[in-house]
Structure 1
Amino acid sequence: MNAKNVTAAKPKVGGAIWCAPLGTALPTDAKSDLDPEFKSLGYISKDGLTNANSPSNENTAAWGGDTVLSLMTERPDTFQCTLIEALNVEVLKTVYGADNVTGTLETGITVKASADDLPFYAYVVEMVLKNNVKKRVVIPCGTVTSVGDITYADGTAVGYQTTITAIADTDGKTHYEYMQSAGK
């Protein structure tokens, strides 16, 4: 046991979640610069990011009730957060699909909600742990599979509770995690 290994996470200054078209060069460490194709999705709510990565198993029982076989049936790898930059065009494109969002704040933004499947993107999550340790989560292929209710109310930031489902890459991996201390 070592209390020095206990940590908490904060978003990296300048943005925590980034997305880019599939095929964009992916980082393979915690500190290198991101490809310029990655666009910031800005602030997320104080609830942070939740990664659900738990297998589901189907058990086979023998006569008498003993479990004699347990087979994994699936292992969904999802990331959930609430994107709170409701005026960020990149957020709107992530939630509604790039083909359904046009314009800028200066020229006027148009959002067209539809039942179209949302595209796949590469995602990178950047955070800072205790003692300025950099952590980066790289999702080579992911898509938005759920958006929670959007609330418009006084005193509450408009946000998009978004679930990104990571899809296995050609190596069968759904995401990669890289950590490195600030001293190296």
Structure 2
Amino acid sequence: MSTATNVSTGKPKVGGAIYRAPLGTALPTDAKTALTEAYKNLGYASDEGVVNSNSPQSGNIKAWGGDNVLTYQNEKTDTFAFTLIEALNSDVLKAVYLDENVTGDLENGLTVKANGKELDAGVWVIDMIMRGGILKRVVIPNGTITEVGDVTYADESAVGYEVTVTAVPDSAGNTHYEYMSKPAAA
């Protein structure tokens, strides 16, 4: 039976919705528990939200004569794309350019080095609020930024870092986890 109340949007959690922590940081296992200090809040994301692409790619084996006799899965990439628009947030810059390539602070001077060093994998968490106040948390135990879009500096748009995080399987073979829960009673 169809239930209209199960239809929802995904709004960001107030105070930030995208977090990053070093690989190996203890993973949250529910939608409610506060994240530890190891998780750095990456601030505002653009109004395009987060796009998760998680579709399998398939191949076919054909018999002599052209009939498909077997369809098999040959790839299943799990990616998350979003644009981080807090261009002055050092944690955003560290995620995009590598922790060791960002030094200082805005008060005393911030330096960003752009180079070809490989970005570190990390733990990523995306918190959101669904219809009816339902909390949803996506946990990516091992994800790396694999794409960074062009950075545009213009009068009428926010400077942003359009990134794609590619999730790889953890020791259990899972690329991400999703947790949903009603909020705590007031």
Runs of 5+ unmatched residues, structure 1: none
Q: Is this contact kept in 2: 1:142–1:165, CA < 8 A?
A: yes
Question: What TM-score, normalized to structure 1?
Answer: 0.97
2:125 alignment counterpart: 124
1:136 alignment counterpart: 137
CA distance in 1, matches of 2:66, 2:149: 40
Matching residue's letter, 1:60 = I
Question: What TM-score, normalized to structure 2?
Answer: 0.96
2:39 alignment counterpart: 38
Question: SS of 1:103's equivalent?
Answer: strand
Alignment of 1:1-184 (within 5 A): 1-182=2-183
CA distance in 2, matches of 1:30, 1:60: 42
CA distance in 1, matches of 2:51, 2:99: 24
Question: SS of 1:109's equivalent?
Answer: strand
CA distance in 2, matches of 1:107, 1:59: 59
Deviation at 1:73, TM superposition (A): 1.1
CA distance in 2, matches of 1:135, 1:64: 49
Residue by residue over 1:103-151, the C-alpha shift from the partner in whole angstroms, topping out at 9 and shown as x without a partner, is 1111111010011110011010000000000000000010000000000
Runs of 5+ unmatched residues, structure 2: none
Deviation at 1:183, TM superposition (A): 5.0
Matching residue's letter, 2:174 = K
Residue by residue over 1:27-77, the C-alpha shift from the partner in whole angstroms, topping out at 9 and shown as x without a partner, is 100101111110001000000000000111111112332211111111010
CA distance in 2, matches of 1:107, 1:172: 44
CA distance in 2, matches of 1:162, 1:102: 21
CA distance in 1, matches of 2:11, 2:114: 32
Matching residue's letter, 1:125 = I
Matched residues, number = 184
CA distance in 2, matches of 1:66, 1:89: 56
Identity %: 56
Q: Is this contact kept in 2: 1:96–1:111, CA < 8 A?
A: yes
